[in-house]
Structure 1
Amino acid sequence: MRTSTRRSRGLVVFAAVAALATGALAGCASDSDDGSSNSDGGNGDGTGKTTLTVGTFGVFGYKQAGLYNEYMKLHPDITIKENVTTRTDVYWPKVLTRLQAGSGTDDVQAIEIGNITEAVQTQAAKFVDLGKEVDKSQWLDWKNAQATTKDGKLIGLGTDIGPMAICYRKDLFEKAGLETDRTRLAAQWKGDWAKYVDLGKEYMKKAPSGTKFVDSASSVYNAAVGGEKEMYYDKDGNVVWDKSAGVKKAWDVAMTAATSDMSAKLKQFDKPWDQGFAGGSFATVACPAWMLGYIQEKSGDSGKGKWDVAAAPTAANWGGSFLGVPTAGKHQKEAVALAKWLTAPEQQAKVFAKQASFPSTPSAYSDLKPAAGTTAYFSDAPLTQIFSDAAKTIPTQYHGPKDQPIGTAITDIGILQVEQKGKSPAQGWDAAKNEIKDVLGQ
């Protein structure tokens, strides 16, 4: 499984949950964080076979699902080595350096969603145009759009995505006198995250002792902004975060949560947040598909059957990656074939079956089956249907090269100033604005 320091994505684990900790997940092989690599540069392994290296971060699940071994059995002339860097904030700068040098890249290179726009806008010439090699209709349109240049070059094939839902503690809802049926509950907040927050006000009127409605205002912000077409950049690539209607809407709803008593005021992925799951201290969390495994692990046996899942107010995405093929590779033809195979619907379904990274290929959805134990944990919710319905209606968003640090400044500085330090929304906004100016070099 994998996370990033900006927490844009993690790993869904519908089946068995592996160890998960922000920015510190062990990989399959190792491309150490100091830049050294265990690969042989793709020059062969001394057996006459062609060695292909796959550069990833965290855990993509290909080794765990047995895909490398399966591919090598199908192609006896190929040997695959995976080079893993644990943290994306270490991985991507290293990839950029190697792309610029024109050497040292892996034959197949993973690209995280937070970096795909930078790759598209500044590194497209360094990647093979995969649009000429595949049937693009296999992937969701909005997923393809994220990896496509203005002149139509597709530099990456979609791996997983992070469609959004709301995970909620139905036992706490019942004690607070709220609706517990997932369908009727989703209808109450459908179409507007402000309705979700309004329900939080109702929850707090009869909240079970020691509980809050939501884990954090940042959670609300990330979920709400993830469904907006325009966030930090407009369609022409201009920075518009401070003028964006989508950002303002998400900020306002997050501020409602931050300035009320409904938030547990926890920073996501920190230890107190983990303890909040274990102790049942909050009743809801905006959860992309990959978060289900995290909840299952952190809530433990005591949460089984108490958690349920409902459709989110609006379709939104939080997370995802791509596989690209650098032009500097010595085995481009073989690398393209491997990237195509790893991201094909059949293989995405196999990774889902192992660790439930949600596919970006809709033809796989009809056959996806969460593990029985996970379905039971979340009160027999129709998990595949909820997340696949969301995936199909997520809007195509405009992204820019500084999406990641801009979003982090808003959540980890601006919102936390209000939520944890008692600053006003205006002061929180100004704090985020000052940080973003530094990020943008203004």
Structure 2
Amino acid sequence: MRTPPGRHRALAVLCAAVLAGSALAGCGSDDDKGGDSGSPDAPGQITLTVGLFGSFGYEEAGLYKEYEALHPNIKIKQNATQKEEVYWPALQTRLGGGGDLDDIQGIEVGRIVDVVNNQADKWLDLNTLGAQTQTQEYLSWKAKAATTADGKSLALGTDVGPMAICYRSDLFQQAGLPTGRDELAQKWSTWEGYLDVGRQFAAKAPKGSSYMDSVTGMYNAMIGQQQTFYYDASGKLIYDTNPAVRSAFDLSAKAAQDGLSAKLVQFQTDWDQAFAKGGFATISCPSWMIGYIKEKAGDATKGKWDVAAAPGATGNWGGSYLAIPKGAKHAKEAYELLQWLTAKEQQVKLFERRGSFPSRTTAISQVAATTDPYFNGAPIGQIFSQAAQKMPVQTLGVRDNDVKVAIQNALNAVEAQGVKPDDAWKDAKASVKAALG
């Protein structure tokens, strides 16, 4: 999704900072069609299917066509499901024998612990296909998260998701607010400061425009700045006693009560449409959101969007993996495609074209000077690199995504239905209990 980005003052600096501490977008339909590649392959030709949630940017950036041109015997078919929470249960059914599997499957970072701890028997060990030479190039924590205790490498990383704030400078100007990215970053150096700017915006907001798209985006950005959130290092579920989680929930709920949100549900149709219509002026913006905004806002808003450092100037939201399920029809060819899609050269292209921040250290060093004309020439390489330098090495849990979805649904109820925050929090806990058993 997702997907992620940023650049560095220098590779050595970023690697030292991140390694010493040690990451949706786009869409297809919500139809998850599995590995059905349609008509049989022609003699000598292989169709590889890639199952993803959201948009990893490969198709949009032209990478599939580039690979097919390099490999005339290969055709690539992408099966995309917009919502990860729809994609994942369907994939579990197919892994259990309930349908065809794609040759390559995407795995969201919030699922990787479950894959490594509980599903190692369902995925190919990529080391048997040569992944040892690849994992050495990754940020150490990124590769480690997809490695079993006995050394099996179950997936290769795509991106990570350093944080910023993307904003509409034209709407800020109409509301009488400053538009410079450095001045705004200073004003909202804290999340409370971000809301203060929001109240100023709301007082003179252009008709039809709210300050932020959804408080769930703000919540996810705040959580992405924490090393520990839903589970502790021992694997114990702690979300309901972790003050950082409750603080992020309460401040996000306060933003909803103050009327600062457009009350949109992220990745729904009306949210997509609001990008182009000016329905909101700011959005919590992991690097992968750059490509999503370009796609949904369109050419009409080119130059009106800009990027500034997020409150706290760091955070990680998103980042994914690619893996090959056991039983894939074309494992060897699938690995060759998987390795190519995640290679340094393609990670650089994806950042330059879609904003997905690399997870390979060899790619990170090449994107520090990247600017983006769509975002008013914003130095996205520098902004996201600096965020990545301070990115926490997060403690991941087996059911992180299920907890996140329950909390997001509760926040949606606060902003859309006026549910009191304390009641919404109780509902979130009940939903987590029901989901986790």
Is 1:118 equivalent to 2:114 in the alignment? Answer: yes
Cα displacement (A) at 1:254: 0.4
Q: What are structure 2's unaligned runs of at least 5 residues?
A: 6-24
Rounded Cα–Cα distance in structure 1 between residues aligned with 2:58 and 2:294:
22
Note closer, same or farther for the CA distance 1:134–1:97 as it changes in structure 2 (3 Å cut): farther
The match for 1:189 is 188
Range with greater deviation from structure 2 (90-99 or 284-293):
90-99
The match for 1:393 is 390
Contact in 2 for aligned 1:142/1:395 (Cα 8 Å): no
Rounded Cα–Cα distance in structure 2 between residues aligned with 1:339 and 1:129:
13
Letter matched to residue 383 of structure 1: I
Describe the SS at the equivalent of 2:218: helix
Rounded Cα–Cα distance in structure 2 between residues aligned with 1:317 and 1:294:
17
Note closer, same or farther for the CA distance 1:22–1:421 as it changes in structure 2 (3 Å cut): farther
Contact in 2 for aligned 1:144/1:157 (Cα 8 Å): yes
Is 1:38 equivalent to 2:37 in the alignment? Answer: yes
Contact in 2 for aligned 1:102/1:328 (Cα 8 Å): no
Note closer, same or farther for the CA distance 1:121–1:86 as it changes in structure 2 (3 Å cut): same
Rounded Cα–Cα distance in structure 2 between residues aligned with 1:397 and 1:38:
37
Range with greater deviation from structure 2 (352-361 or 281-290):
352-361
Contact in 1 for aligned 2:93/2:99 (Cα 8 Å): no
Is 1:53 equivalent to 2:48 in the alignment? Answer: yes
The match for 1:438 is 434
Rounded Cα–Cα distance in structure 2 between residues aligned with 1:219 and 1:248:
15
Note closer, same or farther for the CA distance 1:283–1:64 as it changes in structure 2 (3 Å cut): closer
The alignment's TM-score, normalised by the length of structure 1, stands at: 0.79
Cα displacement (A) at 1:12: 8.0
Is 1:404 equivalent to 2:401 in the alignment? Answer: yes
Rounded Cα–Cα distance in structure 2 between residues aligned with 1:431 and 1:169:
34
Q: What is the percent sequence identity of the aligned residues?
A: 45
Rounded Cα–Cα distance in structure 2 between residues aligned with 1:426 and 1:321:
33
Q: What are structure 1's unaligned runs of at least 5 residues?
A: 1-8, 14-19, 26-31
Query: Which deviations, in whole Å up to 9, do the C-alpha atoms of 1:347-396 show, x marking residues without a partner?
Result: 22234455443322243244449998xx3332211122222332343212
Query: Which deviations, in whole Å up to 9, do the C-alpha atoms of 1:231-271 show, x marking residues without a partner?
Result: 22111222111112331221122022112132232322334
The match for 2:424 is 428
Contact in 1 for aligned 2:26/2:55 (Cα 8 Å): no
Query: Which deviations, in whole Å up to 9, do the C-alpha atoms of 1:288-340 show, x marking residues without a partner?
Result: 22223333344445533332110112322222221223344576555444433
Range with greater deviation from structure 2 (381-390 or 133-142):
133-142
Rounded Cα–Cα distance in structure 2 between residues aligned with 1:59 and 1:282:
22
Describe the SS at the equivalent of 1:134: helix
Letter matched to residue 216 of structure 2: S
The alignment's TM-score, normalised by the length of structure 2, stands at: 0.80
What does 1:309-328 correspond to in 2, within 5 Å? 309-314=307-312, 315-328=314-327
Letter matched to residue 405 of structure 1: D
Q: Which of these residues, 24, 29, 33, is aligned with residue 29 of structure 2? A: 24
Contact in 2 for aligned 1:214/1:263 (Cα 8 Å): yes
The match for 2:373 is 376
Note closer, same or farther for the CA distance 1:306–1:39 as it changes in structure 2 (3 Å cut): closer
Note closer, same or farther for the CA distance 1:213–1:405 as it changes in structure 2 (3 Å cut): same
The match for 1:155 is 154
What does 1:42-191 correspond to in 2, within 5 Å? 46-47=43-44, 51=46, 53-57=48-52, 59-62=55-58, 67=63, 79=74, 81-82=76-77, 84-87=79-82, 88-89=84-85, 91-101=87-97, 105-130=101-126, 133-190=132-189
Query: Which deviations, in whole Å up to 9, do the C-alpha atoms of 1:171-213 show, x marking residues without a partner?
Result: 33344444322123213333x3233223323434444555432
Letter matched to residue 253 of structure 1: L
Cα displacement (A) at 1:160: 2.5
RMSD: 3.6
Contact in 2 for aligned 1:158/1:360 (Cα 8 Å): yes
